[in-house]
């Protein structure tokens, strides 16, 4: 099974690399006629038009401050477009994308190493946050830009109606989920509500992304450092077996409607039950706060810390880094942009919603700023505290994409077939992960 999975990934990579590059959509701040000019930076973000509007404001402020022009291109199919550009050895100057992709980009030779001291304001980023930009060779390959951690969004009006409190443990969470599913919390007299939203599809690694917080809380790890820059797979541990068994038995194979119908084929784009008003909990990222404030409505829900499992309440943290494309000639301009992006001014603009557009910085990386203060919204203190005190990121130095995908495939299969043997399924996953690490020459 592991060899077949790795063969599929290799074929997919070759297919993507062979795609013909198509022109990416440009934001209103783009100056494509001067994209090759010495004082113009081509900048890519993985953004939809809503987020792109916020980036437009950020880059306009940077250009006004420095005179450096930005040819801004918000790219939806980011990785496909990037591989196409890489095949022509013509990468963007600057990219802003997920922290978890750093290992993949670095292993492909797409990034220039970063010297933190060369970025003005670098000392205002904490050592913990900087550590997430270190590659397998000990060099930095990104500048932290935004961070976030998952929290529990929960219908406080439903809790009040049923005389319940927000859960603080897994068992309490399960009891609340069952009550939401069976006790008519919306008062319409119909059995049409669900306990929690789960984007549990294997597609694009969603089952691993959603399940990671529960693995951390159960004391499990997907892979672990094993010294000298090497790693070992860890999904055959007793903690992993206990955690995955609990999830399978209680969320997917237990009481009806604890999770929404179709959870194991759902991705975040179609897991809309919380905003649709028929599910009561969602462990998710803070980018959804703006969405949920509109529907189901700011007054209907609250943001609380994730319920604790046997090993604590750590949640998955992620975010975005600023990356410099592996080409030369504009180092000073790239460093100036990075310095602005991490500055209090740049971070404030990116954290602010104008005309309802989505902010692109969630938790600021600049330690001089407080998310709740900037937004005048105490809910963001819950998110910031989760990031600072109770979070873990996927390991960033390896190429984590195949590891996440193989973990998602395995978890999704285990949850789908209620008669599956968890221990043997995770042993098979562990063997596959060992192959992933061996492929990268990272297996201890």
Coil/strand/helix, residue 142:
coil
Residue 79 and residue 412: Cα distance in Å, rounded?
24
Say which residues have a Cβ less than 8 Å from residue 60's Cβ, sequence separation at least 6: 29
The token pair that represents 425 in the structure block: 């399924």
Q: Are 263 and 252 in contact, with CB atoms under 8 Å apart?
A: yes
Alpha carbon separation from 407 to 115, 221, 277, 294, 426 (Å, rounded):
33, 11, 31, 34, 9
The token pair that represents 93 in the structure block: 């100057």
- Cα three-residue angle 285-352-34, rounded to 5 degrees: 105
Task: Report the Cα 398 to chain-centroid distance in Å.
Answer: 16
The token pair that represents 396 in the structure block: 């960033």
The token pair that represents 341 in the structure block: 């992006």
pLDDT (0 to 100) of residue 231:
96
Within 13 Å of residue 105, how many CA atoms lie on the same side as its CB? 32
Task: Report the Cα 322 to chain-centroid distance in Å.
Answer: 15
Residue 441 and residue 444: Cα distance in Å, rounded?
9
Task: Report the Cα 341 to chain-centroid distance in Å.
Answer: 19
How large is the angle between the packed helices 331-342 and 344-351, nearest 10 degrees?
60
Alpha carbon separation from 113 to 107, 320, 327, 412 (Å, rounded):
12, 16, 11, 36
Coil/strand/helix, residue 110:
coil
Residues 151-176 have pLDDT tens digits of 999 999 999 999 999 999 999 999 99
Strands 223-225 and 94-98, bridge-based pairing: unpaired
Say which residues have a Cβ less than 8 Å from residue 241's Cβ, sequence separation at least 6: 422, 423, 426
Cis geometry, peptide bond prior to residue 296 (ω within 30 degrees of 0): yes
Say which residues have a Cβ less than 8 Å from residue 308's Cβ, sequence separation at least 6: 168, 169, 170, 217
Residue 278 and residue 196: Cα distance in Å, rounded?
9
- Cα three-residue angle 87-396-245, rounded to 5 degrees: 120
Residue 255 and residue 261: Cα distance in Å, rounded?
12
pLDDT tens string, the chain, 444 residues long: the values are 445 455 444 444 433 333 333 333 333 343 333 456 789 999 999 999 999 999 999 999 999 999 999 999 999 899 999 999 999 999 999 999 999 999 999 999 999 999 999 999 999 999 999 999 999 999 999 999 999 999 999 999 999 999 999 999 999 999 999 999 999 999 999 999 999 999 999 999 999 999 999 999 999 999 999 988 899 999 999 999 999 999 999 999 999 999 999 999 999 999 999 999 999 999 999 999 989 999 999 999 999 999 999 999 999 999 999 999 997 679 999 999 999 999 999 999 999 989 888 899 999 999 999 999 999 999 999 999 999 999 999 998 999 999 999 999 999 999 999 999 999 999 999 999 999 999 999 998
Say which residues have a Cβ less than 8 Å from residue 105's Cβ, sequence separation at least 6: 111, 141, 323
Sign of CA dihedral 167, 168, 173, 175: negative
pLDDT (0 to 100) of residue 82:
96
- What are the start-end ranges of the H helices in 206-343? 206-217, 238-247, 273-276, 288-292, 331-342
């Amino acid at each position: 099974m592991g060899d077949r999975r790795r063969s599929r990934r290799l074929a997919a990579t070759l297919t993507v690399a062979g795609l013909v590059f198509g022109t990416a959509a440009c934001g209103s701040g783009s100056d494509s006629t001067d994209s090759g000019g010495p004082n113009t930076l081509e900048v890519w973000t993985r953004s939809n038009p809503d987020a792109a509007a916020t980036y437009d404001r950020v880059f306009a402020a940077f250009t006004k401050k420095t005179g450096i022009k930005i040819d801004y291109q918000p790219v939806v199919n980011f990785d496909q477009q990037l591989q196409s550009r890489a095949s022509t050895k013509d990468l963007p100057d600057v990219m802003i994308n997920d922290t978890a992709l750093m290992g993949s980009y670095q292993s492909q030779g797409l990034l220039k190493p970063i010297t933190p001291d060369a970025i003005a304001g670098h000392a205002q980023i904490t050592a913990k946050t900087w550590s997430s930009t270190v590659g397998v060779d000990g060099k930095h390959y990104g500048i932290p830009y935004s961070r976030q951690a998952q929290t529990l969004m929960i219908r406080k009006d439903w809790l009040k109606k049923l005389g319940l409190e927000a859960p603080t443990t897994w068992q309490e969470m399960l009891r609340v989920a069952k009550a939401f599913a069976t006790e008519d919390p919306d008062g319409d007299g119909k059995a049409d509500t669900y306990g929690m939203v789960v984007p549990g599809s294997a597609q694009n690694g969603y089952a691993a992304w959603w399940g990671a917080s529960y693995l951390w809380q159960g004391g499990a790890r997907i892979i672990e450092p094993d010294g000298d820059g090497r790693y070992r797979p860890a999904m055959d541990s007793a903690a992993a077996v206990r955690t995955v068994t609990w999830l399978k038995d209680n969320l997917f194979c237990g009481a009806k409607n604890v999770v929404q119908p179709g959870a194991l084929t759902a991705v975040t784009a179609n897991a809309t039950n919380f905003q649709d008003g028929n599910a009561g909990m969602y462990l998710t990222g803070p980018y959804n706060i703006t969405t949920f404030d509109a529907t189901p409505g700011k007054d209907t829900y609250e943001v609380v810390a994730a319920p604790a499992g046997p090993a604590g309440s750590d949640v998955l943290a992620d975010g975005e880094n600023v990356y410099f494309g592996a080409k030369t000639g504009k180092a000073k301009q790239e460093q100036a942009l990075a310095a602005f992006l991490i500055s209090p001014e740049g971070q404030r603009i990116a954290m602010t919603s104008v005309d309802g557009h989505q902010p692109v910085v969630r938790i600021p990386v600049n330690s001089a700023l407080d998310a709740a203060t900037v937004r005048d919204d105490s809910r963001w203190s819950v998110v910031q505290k989760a990031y600072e005190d109770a979070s873990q990121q996927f390991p960033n130095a390896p190429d984590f994409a195949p590891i996440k995908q193989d973990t998602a495939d395995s978890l999704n299969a285990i949850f789908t077939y209620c008669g599956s043997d968890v221990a043997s399924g995770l042993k098979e996953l562990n063997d596959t992960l060992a192959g992933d690490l061996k492929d990268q020459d990272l297996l201890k």
